[in-house]
């Protein structure tokens, strides 16, 4: 009888308890099939393997930071022991964050990653605020900063044009932040914007092609960094004395030391940032309950090993006093063994590395706005899927254009610092959300449970809070820039909610 119900409609007569059969038209049978086919075309496809997931994590993390931040951090700490310690501490904390996130990533299999997690944990408002922050500052700002380093190292080979003096003096004032000079270092910014738009186009064409690019480029840059470290240690003619603080070094003490360590951690966290990018594309990962948590863990461990190793190699050939003045630290280290030719080679490696990190971020991040739009928490066009390429093309375009605008907002250090403040605010909320979900969804299937619960997430929460407080005190302007960009989404949220209530 159940099979017959697919083919016939039944009109039941209450008195005689019998039915009259009416054959359905063939067109009424085909319509559901057509609808299913249309729905399939509107969904994103599962094409990313465990290798691709791991490479998205590692590739998004290994980008600009390791080639730029060691110099800044050396100047802040003035101690090789503290420098290595900060890289290890930041790596361990990041790994704890990945462990915590892996539990939720195994539970919830949806494109949009942490946005979807926040919706389960806290509801629409916090989820929207996170998704808006991803678009307004966290990921787009990250992409802008990575593209900036790509352009800086490109400038090693080419003389980039500069804007005339009167344009460079044009400024935009922001309350609590200060003056922004959009046309300063304009040649570098133009190259950065060009790279952003090119990779947006690559990912517009398809996630599979973007995933292939990500895997190849990530392998190349990991091998390049490890090879550089080995060459520096073998041929660098350095000194083991560089690993200890010189007797005449002036070191901060007490509160000053804590603030400096906090600022240095911000630089290290920038280099480690991007570990959660794979969660944004979990709806496109094959066997996501297994491969997303494993991708998080494998990718993070790879980065910790690579970062600590290359910083040891940097220090071997350059004492902290020299490193702090070497803005392009990888190129400066290479000059020690290969001269200008070595600097050229490593600059090419950095260009490849930042290119890969940028591609990984662009590939994954656009899925957040896509998921928000599908949940009617964002503007409808961003939830559209390209009929030919099966990509969230509108979301990709909006993301690419805003990233280009943020390139104009400041230097690499400025952009990266306000991005990290905004990101860690939500990392803290995400870790607390694990505790919330353990209470709200105790019976949910968890393919992976975070090790050391509840102490592991609590450690991460406490550390995140202290890090944010230190940033507000020690780097107020950049913290305020992050806050302003996060809060700028509130009017849109209330507008969308008003329209939603009106439609009902």
Where do the DSSP E strands lie in 104-230?
172-174, 178-180
315 within 8 A of 84, measured Cβ to Cβ: yes
161-170: pLDDT as tens digits: 888 888 888 8
Confidence of residue 174 (pLDDT cuts 50, 70, 90): confident
Q: What is the mean pLDDT of residues 463-477?
A: 90
103-144: pLDDT as tens digits: 887 787 666 667 888 998 999 999 999 989 988 998 899 899
By CB neighbour count within 10 A (0-12 exposed, 13-18 middle, 19+ buried), where does 438 fall?
A: middle
Q: Identify which of 306, 296, 304 has the alpha carbon closest to the alpha carbon of residue 275.
A: 296
Q: What is the mean pLDDT of residues 256-274?
A: 86
How far is the C-alpha of 165 from the C-alpha of 184, rounded, in Å?
9
How far is the C-alpha of 496 from the C-alpha of 502, rounded, in Å?
10
151 within 8 A of 191, measured Cβ to Cβ: yes
Lowest mean pLDDT among 46-60, 87-101, 316-330, 468-482: 46-60
127 within 8 A of 118, measured Cβ to Cβ: yes
Query: How much is the pLDDT for 68?
Result: 80
CB within 8 Å of 169: residues ≥ 6 apart: 181
Query: How much is the pLDDT for 218?
Result: 74
Query: How much is the pLDDT for 25?
Result: 43
Query: How much is the pLDDT for 35?
Result: 41
Structure tokens of 272? 């480690």
Q: Identify which of 226, 175, 174, 464 has the alpha carbon closest to the alpha carbon of residue 330.
A: 226
Write a three-state SS string for 228-246.
Answer: HHHHHHHHCCCCHHHHCCC
Question: Coil, helix or strand for 121?
Answer: helix
Query: How much is the pLDDT for 350?
Result: 82
Domains of the chain and any CATH numbers: 46-499 (1.20.1740.10)
Q: What is the mean pLDDT of residues 35-40?
A: 39
Mean per-residue pLDDT of the chain: 80
350-378: pLDDT as tens digits: 888 788 778 777 877 777 888 888 888 88
Confidence of residue 75 (pLDDT cuts 50, 70, 90): confident
Phi, psi of 158 (to 5 degrees): -130, 145
Q: What is the mean pLDDT of residues 224-246?
A: 84
CB within 8 Å of 303: residues ≥ 6 apart: 57, 58, 61, 62, 91, 94, 272, 275
Task: Answer yes or no: is pLDDT of 194 > 90.
Answer: yes
408-431: pLDDT as tens digits: 887 777 888 888 899 999 999 999
Query: How much is the pLDDT for 486?
Result: 92
Q: What is the mean pLDDT of residues 317-328?
A: 84
Residue with tokens 């947006």: 200
Query: How much is the pLDDT for 39?
Result: 42
Query: How much is the pLDDT for 157?
Result: 86
How far is the C-alpha of 6 from the C-alpha of 2, rounded, in Å?
7
């Amino acid at each position: 009888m159940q099979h017959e119900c697919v083919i016939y409609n039944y009109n039941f007569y209450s008195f005689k308890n019998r039915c009259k059969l009416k054959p359905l038209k063939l067109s009424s049978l085909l319509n559901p099939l057509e609808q299913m086919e249309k729905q399939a075309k509107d969904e994103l496809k599962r094409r990313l393997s465990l290798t691709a997931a791991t490479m998205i994590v590692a590739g998004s993390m290994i980008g600009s930071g390791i080639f730029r931040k060691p110099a800044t951090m050396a100047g802040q700490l003035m101690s090789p022991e503290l420098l290595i310690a900060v890289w290890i501490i930041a790596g361990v904390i990041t790994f704890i964050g990945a462990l915590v996130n892996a539990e939720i990533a195994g539970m919830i299999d949806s494109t949009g990653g942490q946005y979807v997690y926040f919706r389960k944990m806290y509801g629409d408002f916090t989820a929207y605020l996170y998704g808006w922050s991803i678009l307004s500052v966290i990921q787009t700002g990250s992409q802008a900063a990575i593209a900036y380093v790509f352009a800086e190292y490109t400038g090693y080979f080419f003389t980039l044009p500069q804007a005339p003096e009167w344009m460079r003096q044009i400024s935009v004032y922001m309350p609590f932040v200060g003056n922004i000079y959009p046309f300063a270092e304009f040649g570098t910014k133009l190259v950065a914007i060009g790279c952003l738009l090119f990779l947006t186009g690559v990912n517009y064409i398809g996630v599979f092609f973007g995933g292939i690019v990500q895997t190849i480029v990530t392998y190349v840059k990991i091998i390049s960094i490890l090879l550089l470290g080995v060459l520096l240690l073998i041929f660098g003619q350095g000194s083991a004395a560089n690993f200890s603080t010189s007797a005449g070094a002036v070191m901060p003490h007490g509160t000053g030391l804590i603030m400096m360590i906090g600022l240095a951690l911000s630089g290290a966290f920038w280099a480690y940032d991007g570990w959660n990018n794979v969660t944004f594309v979990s709806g496109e990962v094959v066997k996501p309950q297994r491969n997303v948590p494993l991708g998080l863990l494998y990718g993070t461990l790879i980065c910790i090993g690579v970062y600590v190793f290359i910083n040891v190699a940097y220090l071997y050939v350059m004492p902290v006093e020299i490193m702090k003045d070497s803005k392009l630290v990888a190129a400066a280290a290479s000059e020690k063994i290969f001269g200008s030719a070595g600097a050229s080679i490593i600059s090419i490696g950095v260009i490849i590395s930042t290119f890969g990190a940028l591609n990984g971020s662009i590939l994954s991040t656009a899925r957040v706005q896509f998921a928000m739009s599908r949940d009617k928490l964002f503007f409808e066009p961003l939830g559209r899927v390209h009929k030919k390429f099966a990509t969230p093309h509108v979301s990709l375009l909006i993301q690419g254009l805003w990233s280009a605008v943020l390139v104009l907002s400041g230097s690499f250090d400025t952009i990266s610092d306000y991005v990290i403040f905004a990101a860690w605010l939500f990392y803290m909320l995400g870790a607390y959300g694990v505790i919330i979900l353990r209470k709200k969804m105790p019976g949910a299937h968890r393919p992976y449970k975070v090790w050391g619960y509840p102490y592991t997430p609590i450690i991460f929460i406490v550390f995140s809070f202290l890090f944010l407080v230190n940033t507000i005190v020690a780097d107020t302007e950049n913290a305020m820039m992050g806050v302003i960009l996060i809060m700028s989404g509130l009017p849109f949220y209330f507008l969308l909610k008003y329209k939603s209530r009106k439609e009902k």
